[in-house]
Amino acid sequence: MAIQINVTVTNNNPGTIYNRLKARLGREPTNQECKAEIFRILKG
């Protein structure tokens, strides 16, 4: 049995990973794109 948990947080700081990714893409990033960006940063 798999459990999926979603959490929504609002942070208007333009320096967050999410907001920088949003600016680069020109649209709201998907959860998968956010996950990939976080892994890219952590591996870097």
- Per-residue pLDDT, 10: 83
- Per-residue pLDDT, 44: 83
- Per-residue pLDDT, 43: 95
Q: Where exactly are the structural domains of the chain?
A: 15-44
- Per-residue pLDDT, 12: 86
- Per-residue pLDDT, 39: 96
The structure's pTM equals 0.69
Low-confidence ranges of the chain (pLDDT < 50): none
CA dist., res. 40 & res. 31, Å (int): 14
